[in-house]
Amino acid sequence: MAKRLDILVPFLNERESVAGFCALAGDLAAQAKERFGLDTNFIFIDDGSTDGGGALYGEHMTGDWSLITLARNFGKETAILAGLDQSEGDYVLLMDADLQHTADVALDMIGRIIADPDLDMVYAIRADRAESRTLGRYLANGFYWLINMGQRYEIPANAGDFRIMTRRFAMALRQLRDQRRFNKGLYAWTGFRQERILYKPADRQGGESKWSRRKLIAFSLEGFTSFSVVPLRMVSLFGGGVAALGFIYGIKILLEVLFTGVAVPGYPSLIVAVLVLGGLNLALTGLVGEYVWSALSEAKNRPNYIIKSMSGPSAVPLAQTRKTGRASHDD
Ligand code: UDP
Ligand code: MG
């Protein structure tokens, strides 16, 4: 029997690129069949779109496809999980709906993963980002440096969700039911042999990027608190260091008063100490709060997502699927 390739496409308000994507999808499926003998099935995940674009896929798609409509916007990371839960392919490819991920890069990744049975994931790295020298890039590199400190596995910089994986990798990912999902961390945590290829994303075809600066910061914090205790340790160390310095300074003042009788003129140093320590305290409280919030989200053990409906030629009737993203223990 021919091997099956599932292509997961999470989307949020991508109405403008539906027709274009469906053309790309038909072309990609034909080439995957011709070059690798794969049967392709597309799984679209409507992550709470409000532009009615979801229905358009039905008008333009041919071949095997299904559409999972989530009850609201759960975020791309969770939408991917919803797709993984429904996928059964021997290979699973993740692609954006906005046409930034091109068919030739996808075919390149498919070819590589098929050629090497020992390889479980191929992911695309943005070549354009690796070279750029903007402030944002430096911040991002700093972020990856921090998050990877002292980790047993490395979360690669500049890699997104444009990836292909084997069935066993997909099964492993499905078992990770983190509520606050940071996929890049999960891919790395899973292990397995992974290979990277460089690519240059195409320009967005209509619509706009869903990533505001605010969202990126929130997302980075999510990455931190679910994959690293380093920030907590650093703050503790820093706090300890500051306290030690304060102690030494106190002794110095005491000695000065005892031996020279000069009282240290005070206010500026007091204010500095109060502000520095107060600020540090607040920052640390906030950081601890992040971890507590993270723990609370996991403790509630809510389903990761809720499915509203399933449609399309290869869709399983909703009654037969797990309607929610809660992990059942028999899979
Ligand atoms: N997306 C999604 N849910 C979200 C945000 C984005 O499913 O909450 C989809 C979006 O429609 C697109 C993909 O994720 O198909 C990548 O998003 P985007 O193009 O905004 O990110 P960028 O390419 O700018 O990194
Ligand atoms: Mg995009």
* pLDDT tens per residue, range 186-207: 998 998 999 999 888 888 877 7
Ligand 1 in contact with 185 (CB < 6 A)? no
Between CA 88 and CA 228, with CA 190 as vertex, the angle to 5 degrees is 140
Across the beta sheet with 307-311, the strand order is 194-199, 121-126, 159-166, 91-94, 4-11, 39-46, 64-70, 307-311
CB 184 within 8 A of CB 121: no
Q: Of the ligands numbered here, which is closest to the C-alpha atom of 21?
A: 1
Q: Write down the mean pLDDT value for the chain.
A: 85
CA distances from 307 to 58, 61, 68 (A): 18, 21, 7
Q: Output the pLDDT for position 321.
A: 61
Ligand 1 in contact with 53 (CB < 6 A)? no
CB 10 within 8 A of CB 79: yes
Residue 30's contacts (CB-CB under 8 Å, 6 or more residues apart) are: none
Ligand 1 in contact with 76 (CB < 6 A)? yes
Give pTM, 2 decimals.
Answer: 0.80
pLDDT of 237 over the 90 cut? no
Per-residue pLDDT reduced to its tens digit, 113-132: 999 999 999 999 888 765 66
Q: Output the pLDDT for position 329.
A: 43
Ligand 1 in contact with 10 (CB < 6 A)? yes
CB 97 within 8 A of CB 15: no
Unique residue bearing structure tokens 């509630």:
300
